Amino acid sequence: MINNDKMVCPFCGETYPLTTSSTTSIHQSYIEYYFNFSCFGVRGIADKSKEAFRITMTKCPYKKCGKPTITIDHITDMASDNKEAYIDNSDLIHQVMPKCNAKPFPKYVPQHIISDYREAITVLDMSPKASAVLSRRCIDEIITNHFGVTGGSLYDKINAIKNKVSGKLLDAIDSLRKIGNLGAHLKIESNVIVEVSKEEAKAFLWLIEYIIDEWYVQEHEKAEMIEKIAQLEK
């Protein structure tokens, strides 16, 4: 995931600066190519008035990883000086490598939860609706695993943890529950269509990442630190 001039590696989770060079360099981590049906070039094409496609390649500089990330973006106005303006935020933006741009999490996070989370990301471009339904199931599994709440619907489980979670976070989780209801309950008439935008589905994926980090990663790190401090007196 690119954030300004930095990249979070989808393989190892490390953040690194995006560096470019006009010559081959071991320090280069970012390069982009533009092409259409008439030409192919580096950082620009001959006819900038027409649409094009951009291949963006970054490479993790850390020795333990070193893996490349590749995306293809649809460029609608090559003449624009504003890069954010000429990128078409449609389904024509594709993550080529890795296929699943999931955030890496430690192995102590339950793998069945990570599996649903990764699948929700994998189908995001093809079907935001399916992604939202998988995100809903992922939230259900997280609540069951983390709080030990079993039985009943997701609505019942959310009510069971309302005194353990902040109000705003609970509202966000409930929004995901509602939008994923169609896929979760097959008894709903098949001609009832619940539209889910790609941005909404992406927001739900961010919510899952936030919850996993908050409820698993940070709690694990706090427990480890408390244990280390306790051992200092012995």
Say what the pTM is: 0.63
Domain boundaries, the chain: 2-97, 111-232
Q: Residue 208: its pLDDT value, please?
A: 94
Give backbone dihedrals phi and psi of 216, rounded to 5 degrees, phi first: -115, -60
Q: Residue 34: its pLDDT value, please?
A: 80
| Strand segments (E) across the chain | 2-3, 6-8, 15-17, 30-35, 40-42, 52-59, 68-75, 94-97
The DSSP line for 56-86 is EEEE---TTT--EEEEEEEES-TT-S-HHHH
From CA 204, how far away is CA 198, in angstroms rounded? 10
- Looking at the structure, give the CATH architecture of the domain made up of residues 111-232: Up-down Bundle (1.20)
Per-residue confidence of the chain (234 residues) as pLDDT tens digits?
555 577 878 777 778 888 775 444 556 778 888 887 777 665 555 565 567 788 888 888 888 888 888 888 777 766 665 555 555 555 556 777 877 777 888 888 998 999 899 889 888 878 888 888 899 899 999 999 999 998 888 888 999 998 998 888 998 888 888 775 654 444 444 444 467 888 888 889 999 999 999 999 999 999 989 988 888 866
Q: Residue 79: its pLDDT value, please?
A: 62
